[in-house]
């Protein structure tokens, strides 16, 4: 009888311990979900990549006051592309847009090598409506109130995109590390250089 009582007591104790573990694991799951939600909310930046060729929208600055100037000294909005593959990618014939409602802007072909994103390298595209300044100048500007960047291949298939909320002047947003799904703010932007 004593043995039976002791067994029942042990079983009862075991049940209490198990219920504590289950409660703790529920708490951890809730905390994790909250962390993921708050991280997404904090960055207000939605990543929609479905990228097979390894070409990424890697960083952008939608309100440029003094960070990086184009060939003629204008501090315009820019987007950094990153080629994670070991082959150069020519983006001439591809399309860019800042809004899904707008027309697509084709990157014109160039006799120079300026439209080539080097293997494991970077290329800056200017969103400045200054198409007369070269093939890397798109007929759109990025809104600091929130907008997006959409990159399509020559067959008009979306290869990468990002949508973003309100942006601060001279603070860029980029993938960290390069080509990853994680978007962070950069108080020191790294145009045409690694975000890592």
- Interface with Ca ion (CB under 5 A): 59, 70, 74, 76, 80, 98, 128, 130, 140-141, 143, 190, 195
**140/160 with CB nearer Ca ion:** 140
DSSP letter string, 78-126: EEEEEE-SSS-EE-TT-EEESSTTSPPEEPPP-SSSTTEE-TT-EEEEE
Locus of tokens 């960290």? 176
User: Tokens 């000294």 identify what position?
Assistant: 73
Q: What is the largest CA-CA distance in the chain?
A: 96
User: What letters, b where the CB count within 10 A reaches 16 and e where it falls short, cover 75-109?
Assistant: bbbbbbbbbbeeeebebeebbbbbeeeeeebbbee
As measured in angstroms, the least distance from the Cβ of 23 to Ca ion is 45
Residue closer to Ca ion, measured from CB, 80 or 160: 80
Q: Which is nearer to Ca ion, 16 or 72 (CB)?
A: 72
The least CB distance from residue 175 to Ca ion, in Å, is 9
Beta carbon nearer to Ca ion, 53 or 100:
100
Chain residue whose CB lies nearest Ca ion: 190
CB of 193 to Ca ion, least distance (A): 5
Min. distance of Cβ 196 from Ca ion in angstroms?
9
Kindly tell me which of 128 and 160 has the beta carbon lying closer to Ca ion: 128
Distance CA 110, CA 93 (A): 10
Q: Cβ of 46: how many Cβ atoms within 10 Å?
A: 13
* Residue 186 beta carbon to Ca ion: minimum distance, rounded to whole angstroms: 8
């Amino acid at each position: 009888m004593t043995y039976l009582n002791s067994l029942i007591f042990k079983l009862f104790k075991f049940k209490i311990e198990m219920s504590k573990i289950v409660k703790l694991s529920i708490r951890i799951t809730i905390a994790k979900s909250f962390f993921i939600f708050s991280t997404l909310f904090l960055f207000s930046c939605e990543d929609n990549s479905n990228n097979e060729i390894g070409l990424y929208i890697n960083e952008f600055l939608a309100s440029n006051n003094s960070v990086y100037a184009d060939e003629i000294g204008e501090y315009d909005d820019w987007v950094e592309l990153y080629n994670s593959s070991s082959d150069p990618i020519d983006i001439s014939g591809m399309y860019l847009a800042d809004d899904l409602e707008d027309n697509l802007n084709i990157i014109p072909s160039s006799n120079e090598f300026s439209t080539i994103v080097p293997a494991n390298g970077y290329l800056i595209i200017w969103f400045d409506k200054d198409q007369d300044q070269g093939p890397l100048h798109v007929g759109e500007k990025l809104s600091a109130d929130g907008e997006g960047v959409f990159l399509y291949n020559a067959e008009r298939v979306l290869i990468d995109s990002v949508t973003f909320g309100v942006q601060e002047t001279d603070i860029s947003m980029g993938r960290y590390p390069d080509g990853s799904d994680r978007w962070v703010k950069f108080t020191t932007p790294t145009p045409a250089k690694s975000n890592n």
